């Protein structure tokens, strides 16, 4: 099954927070199988801006370099993805970036990996692996 990482899952892994082991195992399985995980370019940018705001530009650039080594395919936003994210944003109490992660999971028929409780809003529409 395809899997999508949201921003929360990446930070859980990088900061070794609760659920770290699950993300580590998902990353390991993806690397061993040669089958990439997915993340939207919006969520990739969210990782950058949060890190830059909290720890500075140098650290943010370092984090992006670390992520480049992960078995993750960063998916650019096209009209279909933007429309699905907009569909969620119109009716759900979720951040716009989270709507993109949910939209990618929906389009890819993938499991979304997160610990972010905002995704309870779409739990009936997409499969969620909770951290």
Q: Could you read off the pLDDT of 8-53 as tens digits, one per residue?
A: 999 999 999 999 999 999 999 999 999 999 999 999 999 999 999 9
pLDDT > 90 in the chain, percent: 99
CB 23, CB 72: distance < 8 Å: no
For residue 22, the model assigns a pLDDT of 96
For the entire predicted model, the pTM comes to: 0.94
User: Which of the following CATH numbers is that of domain 3-130: 3.90.1150.10, 3.40.50.1010, 1.10.3720.10, 3.30.530.20?
Assistant: 3.40.50.1010
| Per-position DSSP letters for 63-125, written without gaps between them | HHHHHHTSSEEEEPP-HHHHHHHHHHHHHS---HHHHHHHHHHHHHT-EEEE--GGGGGGTTT
Q: Could you read off the pLDDT of 80-119 as tens digits, one per residue?
A: 999 999 999 999 999 999 999 999 999 999 999 999 999 9
Cα 93 from chain centroid?
17
Domain ranges of the chain: 3-130
């Amino acid at each position: 099954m395809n899997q999508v990482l949201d921003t929360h899952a990446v930070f859980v892994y990088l900061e070794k927070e609760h659920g770290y082991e699950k993300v580590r195992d998902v990353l390991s399985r993806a690397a061993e199988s040669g089958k990439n995980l997915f993340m939207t370019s919006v969520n990739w940018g969210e990782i950058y801006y949060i890190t830059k705001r909290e720890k500075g530009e140098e650290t943010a650039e370092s984090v992006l370099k670390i992520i480049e080594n992960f078995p993750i395919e960063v998916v650019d936003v096209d009209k279909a993805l933007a429309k699905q994210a907009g569909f969620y944003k119109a009716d759900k109490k979720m951040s716009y970036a989270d709507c993109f992660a949910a939209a990618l999971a929906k389009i890819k028929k993938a499991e979304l990996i997160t610990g972010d409780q905002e995704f309870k809003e779409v739990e009936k529409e997409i499969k969620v692996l909770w951290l």
